[in-house]
Amino acid sequence: MTANSTAYKAPGTSGAGGTSTRPLRRRPAPSARRSGWTPWLYLLPALVLLGGLLVYPIYQLGLISFLEYTQAQVSGGEPTTFQGFGNYATLFGDSQFWQVLLATVVFAAACVLATLLVGCALAVLLTRIRAVPRLVLMLAALGAWATPAITGSTVWMFLFDPDFGPVNRVLGLGDFSWTYGRYSAFALVLLEVLWCSFPFVMVTVYAGIRAIPTEVLEAAALDGASQWRIWRSVMAPMLRPILVVVTIQSIIWDFKVFTQIYVMTAGGGIAGQNLVLNVYAYQKAFASSQYSLGSAIGVVMLVILLAVTLVYLRLVRRQGEEL
Amino acid sequence: MKLSARIAAPAAALVLAGLTATGCAPQTSDTGAKGDEKTGTLRVWLFQEVGNKPKEQVVDAAVADFKKAHKDAKVEIEYIPVDTRAQRIKAAFNDPESAPDLIEYGNTDTAGYVKDGGLADVSAEFAAWDEAKDTDPTAKQSVTVGGKVYGAPLFVGVRALYYRTDVFEDLGIEAPKTQAELISTAKKIHKKKPDLYGLAVGGAYTYGAMPFIWAGGGELADESGGTYKAAINSDKARKGIEAYTSLFGDDNCPAAKCAAMGGNATVTAFASGKAAMAIGGDFSHTAVEAGSVKGKYAVVPLPGLTEGSVAPAFAGGNNIGVLKSSSHRTLAVDLMKSLTGKRTQAKMFDAMGFLPTYTDVRAAAAKKELFVEPFVRTLGAGAKFVPASPGWGQIDSSLILPTMFQEIVSGRKDVAKASDDAAKKMDAAFADAG
């Protein structure tokens, strides 16, 4: 099976490499100086845009995280002072930060796993059902995808309302309050996050499966492979680039969950039990105007996400996949 | 290798360009005034209330009075939504160019706004103003920071005990006269009528919980020489916390529902007939009147520890202040006097039911409208105010006290541990605010 799949891919990759190297070598001859700058000239608009929209804000974020910068400094009541790593020391010395970080990591991991599982399972299901049910499933998923997070969260809250919600009535839970317990509140939010983020995984993976040549799948079926076996040994390896992308996307999204927690647990739950990093940063930066502390949390999040993504990409590359 | 060097150079150039362009520091604005012009346009931001029309009419009359004395001045009033006022006012401090000359602000924000450098010191004008002599001391305290006055009180708001007369009659009980009686009455009612909360309480209802702390002589924080130290974990304060949190539970207000409630939620529960008692403000009157309990309730001051005593209430309310960045200081102060003067406050009470901050005007108001009598009596018994430290804004917005109550009622921590932790966080906030 593996031999088959590499053979299928080989011409594409090696062909591209072979043709692209030659003209590049030959060109520089007439005017070496100009051609060195030409690509940069073409890249300039994109670089300026990236610099303005990405590099500059991150630079400001990093800068503010090293200053004492609260409302008093913004509006000129007190001078801005340099704190060095003071904000980071405060942050790392705060036991609540570590609790929130742990909760965020566990919660994000659970969300990513759940999203990938449900998304992939439904993508496979899409390929095995007839046109009408497929259309219905697609529409339902796209509906969930298109719903703004704040609307979804609010509707979800109504569905699970202890006094008026239909869910408690159907399940016969009486006036059970979902947001009171820490785990039930996280579970409720997880369901909502899952609901609004599985469609992306499903649609992307479905498109990927569609691109797999049917002969390969037929061959596997003829060899007597079960559905699970086909997924594990044929589809998953061939879908690997797509799976990598949706996994990284999901990690980034779920690590940064804000709206769902903020709306569904009223800003972090009873006694802050459902805080995640993004909401915590918001509470610090904007609710209590400690912009510098909020920035420090932002920088920590950025570093964690970059590290997770890099490690993940490395792991994937080591397994022999070029992205 | 070569490629990465090629990328690095322009990237570094870009960062450098960014550095030079911004002068290496985030923005800080200069809120100092640029002059004191005697003509021109004064811009005013007031809060947009539910049912704002009557307020607008009173304000328009006050502005007309002001214009009679200042023919060359123009006044532009803008009503800003209460929900987003914090952002709007912060933005005004950040950008003096587009900031108004006067703002209405909640009195717990006074110290914070002063520290932010947003409000102008009007001590001299306030002292020389004859009407200000009758300002009630607690109201004056709410515009005072470090001995200086930063605005004029517009109205006070105070909370008292709402109770359902029909339920009490039905059960043959009377309005509670002591704190202990209040708690036992609440539990008795819930036992007899399990679908009602005895007394609706909320884990996030800080201002409803404070009277319990103050009634036993507890304090939120002690002041000495301008600095504050948390006192929420003193023995007296802990007794109050215990009393308040004892109301959460299956015998009155189940923690699963009540831990997350704030002040509005408890009043809504009362107004919709889900609670036999609630701690509500004079400003909640309209909401309760609009609910299903209209005509079936009465109000008494929240009882203190001993019979006949009143638990000190939190003196909330709004003030009007002049912004430091105003380029029309003299005019702005005159307009502030007109907007918060006795005439305007008396009319504002008739129009909106806001309690006047002048003792004599308030007494006259109480004679006219019977429902305010228990609130005026509560104020007369001595209301209290939150620590006048810029740290209070941070304590309030980082939910230190709601967190403490919620930790206790959900059984995570006992009163001693939760109040110690809260005190630690409060001290850190006071220290931050310096």
- The pLDDT tens digits for B72-113 are 899 999 999 887 788 788 888 888 888 999 999 999 889 888
**Whole-number CA gyration radius for chain B:** 24
The pLDDT confidence band at residue B309, using thresholds 50, 70 and 90, is: very high
Which residue of chain A comes nearest to B422, CA vs CA?
A271
Residues B270 and B409 in one domain: yes
What pLDDT, on a 0 to 100 scale, did the predictor assign at position A176?
Answer: 87
For residue A146, give how far its alpha carbon lies from the nearest alpha carbon of chain B (Å). Answer: 27
Domain range enclosing B110: 40-157+315-380
Residue B18 inside a domain? The answer is no
Q: What is the DSSP letter of B151?
A: S
CB distance A75–B90 less than 8 Å?
yes
What pLDDT, on a 0 to 100 scale, did the predictor assign at position A295?
Answer: 94
For residue B35, give how far its alpha carbon lies from the nearest alpha carbon of chain A (Å). Answer: 18
Residues B301 and B417 in one domain: yes
pLDDT(B377) > 60: yes
Q: Which residues of A touch B394 (CB under 8 A)?
A: 288-290
Residues B189 and B328 in one domain: no
* Chain A contact present for B16, CB below 8 A: no
Whole-number average pLDDT of chain B: 88
Residues B205 and B309 in one domain: yes
pLDDT(B21) > 50: no
**Whole-number CA gyration radius for chain A:** 25
> Tell me, what amino acid is at A165?
G
Residues B307 and B326 in one domain: no
Residues B374 and B306 in one domain: no
The full set of domain ranges for chain A reads 94-318
Which residue of chain A comes nearest to B394, CA vs CA?
A288
CATH architecture, range A94-318? Orthogonal Bundle (1.10)
* CA-to-CA dists, residue A74 to A257, B90, B291, angstroms: 28, 9, 43
Residue B5 inside a domain? The answer is no
Contact B366, B376 (CB under 8 A): yes
SS3 B210: helix
Residue B4 inside a domain? The answer is no
CB distance B256–A180 less than 8 Å?
yes
* Chain A contact present for B260, CB below 8 A: yes
CATH number for the domain harbouring residue B307 = 3.40.190.10
pLDDT(B287) > 90: no
| Least confident window among A309-323, B8-22, B260-274 | B8-22
Residue B2 inside a domain? The answer is no
Q: Match 């129009």 to its residue by tokens.
A: B351
What pLDDT, on a 0 to 100 scale, did the predictor assign at position A70?
Answer: 81
Of A55, A70, A290, which is closest to B14 when you measure between CB atoms? A55
Residues B181 and B327 in one domain: no
Identify the bridge partners of residue B43 per DSSP, sorted by sequence position: B76
Residue B6 inside a domain? The answer is no
* CA-to-CA dists, residue B330 to B39, B40, B143, B232, B252, angstroms: 10, 12, 19, 42, 55
Residues B230 and B106 in one domain: no
SS3 B67: helix
Residue B35 has phi, psi (to 5 degrees) of 165, -175
Per the structure, the count of domains in chain B is 2
- The pLDDT tens digits for B313-358 are 998 999 999 999 899 999 999 999 999 999 999 999 988 888 999 9
Identify the bridge partners of residue B197 per DSSP, sorted by sequence position: B275
What pLDDT, on a 0 to 100 scale, did the predictor assign at position B238?
Answer: 96
Of A51, A176, A288, which is closest to B397 when you measure between CB atoms? A288
pLDDT(B165) > 50: yes
Residues B209 and B254 in one domain: yes
> Tell me, what amino acid is at A61?
L
Residue B16 inside a domain? The answer is no
The continuous run of DSSP H or E covering B160 comes out as strand B159-164
The continuous run of DSSP H or E covering A131 comes out as helix A131-146
> How is residue A33 written in tokens?
């100086």
How many helices, marked H, and strands, marked E, lie in chain A? 17, 2
Q: Which residues of B touch A262 (CB under 8 A)?
A: none
CB distance B117–A72 less than 8 Å?
yes
> How is residue A116 written in tokens?
């990938």
- The pLDDT tens digits for B294-303 are 999 999 999 9
pLDDT by residue, tens only, chain A of 323 residues: 344 444 444 443 444 444 444 444 445 445 555 568 889 999 999 999 999 999 999 999 999 999 988 877 877 777 888 888 999 999 999 888 999 999 999 999 999 999 999 999 999 999 889 999 999 999 999 999 999 999 999 999 999 988 788 998 898 888 888 989 999 999 999 999 999 999 999 999 999 999 999 899 899 999 998 888 988 999 888 998 899 989 999 999 999 999 999 999 888 888 889 999 999 999 888 877 789 999 999 999 999 999 998 988 888 777 665 55
* CA-to-CA dists, residue B181 to A25, B188, B244, B304, B328, angstroms: 93, 10, 13, 10, 55
Residue B128 inside a domain? The answer is yes
How many helices, marked H, and strands, marked E, lie in chain B? 20, 13
**Size (chain B), residues:** 434
pTM listed for this prediction: 0.80
Residues B278 and B360 in one domain: no
Residues B357 and B274 in one domain: no
pLDDT(B5) > 80: no
Residues B112 and B197 in one domain: no
| Least confident window among A258-272, A301-315, B20-34, B35-49 | B20-34
> Which of A59, A66, A71, A95 should one mutate to test binding to chain B, selecting the residue with the greatest count of B CBs within 10 A?
A71
Residue B3 inside a domain? The answer is no
- The pLDDT tens digits for B407-423 are 999 999 999 999 999 99
Greatest C-alpha distance within chain B? 91
pLDDT(B19) > 60: no
